[in-house]
Structure 1
Amino acid sequence: MSTNKDITLDDNFDLLIENGDFVVSPSDQQHVNCIFLAHAGEYKQFPLIGFGASRFLKKTTASKQKFLRELTIQLEMDGYVSPEIENDFENLIIKV
């Protein structure tokens, strides 16, 4: 179970607000989702962070090994040691 907490984002990556205040909740899965979707350079404070999943969607020759290696490196850069990655591209599950 996650012990890290952060301001929560909704499904559209907007701030989740309830009763006029930010919602704070466990955040590991949210962080993984953001790293997975973001491209390197999108986080100005940490320009090397960002997997950029759309890069692999556009390539017809994307190898599974390269995909998993780069994703693991990105998650480890954010402190997720030995993330567990299951299934293929279509049904990807990332456990931290």
Structure 2
Amino acid sequence: MPYDILLDENFNPVLSNGDFTIGESTYQHQKMLLYADKGQFKADPLVGVGSRRFLETSKQNDFAREIRQQFYADGMTVNKIEIKENFEINIDAQY
């Protein structure tokens, strides 16, 4: 389980007593990978699923494949990915 600086739902650092809050961050890392487009991380421009571009297509298999590849590249073990018709995503993956 990775521990990192925690971010709120808008990706702003969570502060406690004037300092960063540290905690378990698996879900946070998954969310960032799903939202990020390729090129948004300067240190590694190939990182990011870019989920917005899959909203305009019905290629759920391509979407699931991209999620799996990005999560594996980040060091996660992906057990299951389920993408429903309304693009509700259920992912079972951990470090």
With normalisation by structure 2, the TM-score equals 0.88
Q: Residue type of the partner of 1:66?
A: D
- Distance in 1 of aligned mates of 2:66 and 2:31: 15
Q: May I ask how many residue pairs the two structures share in their alignment?
A: 92
1:69 aligns with 2:65: yes
Determine the structure 2 residue equivalent to 1:84. Answer: 80
What is the deviation of 1:87? 4.1
- Distance in 2 of aligned mates of 1:36 and 1:52: 6
Deviates more, 1:21-30 or 1:81-90: 81-90
With normalisation by structure 1, the TM-score equals 0.87
Give 3-state SS (helix, strand or coil) of 1:82's partner: strand
Any stretches of 5+ residues in structure 2 without a counterpart? none
Give 3-state SS (helix, strand or coil) of 2:65's partner: helix
- Distance in 1 of aligned mates of 2:36 and 2:79: 18
- Distance in 1 of aligned mates of 2:58 and 2:82: 17
Tell me the alpha carbon deviations over residues 41-75 of structure 1, each in whole angstroms, 9 at most, x when there is no partner: 10111111100111111x2x331111111111111
Determine the structure 1 residue equivalent to 2:28. Answer: 30
Percent identity of equivalent pairs:
36
- Distance in 2 of aligned mates of 1:47 and 1:92: 24
- Distance in 1 of aligned mates of 2:47 and 2:71: 9
- Distance in 2 of aligned mates of 1:19 and 1:26: 19
Query: Please, what is the CA RMSD of the aligned residues?
Result: 1.3
**Structure with the larger strand share:** 2
